[in-house]
Amino acid sequence: MSFLILGEVLRSQSLYEARGFSANDGMCAESFNSITGDDKGFLWMTSENGIVRYDGNAFFCFHHDDSDPNSLLANKCDYVYRDVRGRIWVKTLYGLSLYDEANNHFFNYPAPPGILSGLAGGKITEDHRGRLWLGGYGEVIIFDPVTLKYEKSGWFQFAKETGIIQNDIRNNAVLEVMRKNEHELYLLSVFGLFSVNTQTGKFLYHPNPYTEDSWAFYLCTIDKEGLLWIGTYDQCFYLYNPGTGQWQHKNCGNGNLQIVTDIVPLGKDSLLLLSEKKLVVFRPSLSTFSNLDFEMSGSNSGAKLGHFWKAHVANGKINLLMSGSLPFLQLRKPRHQISETKLKLPNGFSNNVAHHTGMDEKVLIGDWERQEILLYDFKTRSYQYLILPKKGTKTGVLQSFFNIGANKGILVTSDQIFSLNIKDGILTPILCASYQNAAKAEFRNVVKDEKGTLYVRERSTGIWKLNATASRIEPFFSPNTRGNFSDLYFEPVTRKFWLSQERNGVFIVDPVGLGSKHYPLKVDAMAGASTINSIVGNGRGKVFLALLDHGLMEVDAPAMLVKRYTQLQGLPSDNVSFGLVDESGNYWGTSQMGLYCLQNGKISNYAYHSLGKNFFHRLSSNGKGSFFQNLHPSSLLSFSPKTLLSSGEDGELYLAEIRLFGRPILKEELLHLSPTQNSLSFRFGCQLDNDWRSPECEYSLNQSIWQPFKLKDELNLFNLSPGDYRIQIRRSDRDVKTLDLFFSIASPWYMMKSLWFLLAIVLIILVYILYTYRINMIREQEEVKSKMAQQLSQMEMAALRAQMNPHFIFNCLNSINRFILTNEADLASDYLTQFSRLIRIVLDNSREEIIPLENELSALKLYLAMEAMRFHNRFNWAIDVGDGIDTNAWYIAPMTMQPYVENAIWHGLLPLENSKGIKKLVITIRAFGSHGILISIDDNGVGRKTDENGKDNTRKSHGMALTAERMALISRLTNVKTEIEIIDKLDSEGQAAGTTINIVLNKDEDPLT
CATH label of the domain that carries residue 694: 2.60.40.10
According to DSSP, the residues that pair with 365 across neighbouring strands are 354, 374
3 and 46 within one domain:
no
- Contact predicate 815/769, CB 8 Å: no
- Please tell me whether the peptide bond between 894 and the residue prior to it is cis, using omega within 30 degrees of 0: no
The torsion of the CA quartet 381, 387, 391, 392, rounded to 10 degrees, works out to 50
Chain-centre distance for alpha carbon 816: 105
Task: Report which DSSP code applies to 168.
Answer: -
- CA nearest neighbour of 233 among 208, 213, 209, 206: 213
Q: What is the pLDDT of residue 72?
A: 97
pLDDT in tens, 788-808: 766 666 665 555 545 555 556
Task: Report which DSSP code applies to 795.
Answer: H
Q: What is the pLDDT of residue 120?
A: 58
CA–CA dist 763, 770 (Å, integer): 10
951 and 881 within one domain:
yes
Q: Write down the pTM of the prediction.
A: 0.66
CATH label of the domain that carries residue 49: 2.130.10.10
Cβ within 8 Å of residue 465, ≥6 positions away: 453, 454, 455, 456, 473, 474, 475, 476
Which of 190, 207, 224 terminates a domain? The answer is 207
Which of 186, 207, 228 terminates a domain? The answer is 207
CA–CA dist 641, 691 (Å, integer): 17
CA–CA dist 543, 534 (Å, integer): 10
- CA nearest neighbour of 509 among 533, 529, 530, 535: 535
729 and 842 within one domain:
no
946 and 811 within one domain:
yes
CA–CA dist 123, 48 (Å, integer): 15
CA–CA dist 280, 315 (Å, integer): 19
- CA nearest neighbour of 60 among 33, 38, 28, 22: 28
- Contact predicate 564/538, CB 8 Å: no
- For the chain, the first-to-last Cα distance in angstroms comes to 104
Angle subtended at Cα 604 by Cα 586 and Cα 592, rounded to the nearest 5 degrees: 95
Angle subtended at Cα 101 by Cα 81 and Cα 135, rounded to the nearest 5 degrees: 20
**Enclosing H/E stretch for 645:** helix 641-645
**Enclosing H/E stretch for 217:** strand 217-222
Q: What is the pLDDT of residue 12?
A: 37
Region label for 659, one of left (φ > 0), alpha (ψ between -120 and 50) or beta (otherwise): beta
Establish if 286 belongs to a structural domain: no
Q: What is the pLDDT of residue 314?
A: 92
CA–CA dist 226, 229 (Å, integer): 9
CA–CA dist 7, 10 (Å, integer): 9
CA–CA dist 322, 329 (Å, integer): 7
- CA nearest neighbour of 333 among 687, 14, 646, 11: 14
Establish if 636 belongs to a structural domain: no
3-state secondary structure of 376: strand
CA–CA dist 919, 877 (Å, integer): 9
Q: What is the pLDDT of residue 796?
A: 59
The backbone torsions φ and ψ at residue 854, rounded to the nearest 5 degrees and listed phi first, read -60, -40
CA–CA dist 968, 915 (Å, integer): 40
Counting Cα atoms < 13 Å in the Cβ hemisphere of 759 gives 8
728 and 658 within one domain:
yes
| Number of domains observed in the structure of the chain | 4
- CA nearest neighbour of 521 among 482, 567, 560: 560
Which of 748, 766, 799 terminates a domain? The answer is 748
- Contact predicate 622/358, CB 8 Å: yes
22 and 157 within one domain:
no
Establish if 776 belongs to a structural domain: no
- Please tell me whether the peptide bond between 327 and the residue prior to it is cis, using omega within 30 degrees of 0: no
What is the span of the domain harbouring residue 19?
A: 1-31+292-336
Q: How many CB atoms lie within 10 A of CB 68?
A: 14
The torsion of the CA quartet 899, 903, 906, 908, rounded to 10 degrees, works out to -150
61 and 5 within one domain:
no
According to DSSP, the residues that pair with 677 across neighbouring strands are none
Written as one string, the DSSP assignment of 346-364 is: -TT----EEEE-SSTTEEE
CATH label of the domain that carries residue 853: 3.30.565.10
Establish if 625 belongs to a structural domain: no
Establish if 644 belongs to a structural domain: no
Q: What is the pLDDT of residue 808?
A: 65
Establish if 964 belongs to a structural domain: yes
pLDDT in tens, 216-247: 899 999 999 999 999 998 899 999 999 999 99
55 and 24 within one domain:
no
CA–CA dist 39, 127 (Å, integer): 20
- Contact predicate 10/341, CB 8 Å: yes
3-state secondary structure of 174: strand
Cβ within 8 Å of residue 556, ≥6 positions away: 541, 542, 562
Establish if 484 belongs to a structural domain: no
877 and 909 within one domain:
yes
- CA nearest neighbour of 322 among 43, 22, 55: 22
803 and 897 within one domain:
yes
888 and 807 within one domain:
yes
Q: What is the pLDDT of residue 514?
A: 94
CA–CA dist 973, 785 (Å, integer): 8
Establish if 507 belongs to a structural domain: no
Mean pLDDT of successive 10-residue segments in the chain (1009 residues)?
33 69 91 95 96 95 94 95 97 95 94 73 92 89 96 92 75 82 94 95 96 90 95 94 96 79 92 91 91 85 90 94 95 81 92 90 94 92 91 92 93 92 92 77 94 95 90 91 93 97 94 94 79 96 95 96 93 94 95 92 79 85 92 89 83 91 88 90 91 87 93 92 94 87 87 79 92 90 76 59 58 76 79 85 79 89 87 88 88 83 86 77 90 90 72 53 71 75 86 89 61
197 and 296 within one domain:
no
Q: What is the pLDDT of residue 733?
A: 79
CA–CA dist 594, 603 (Å, integer): 13
- CA nearest neighbour of 466 among 486, 448, 488, 440: 448
Amino acid identity, position 189 = S
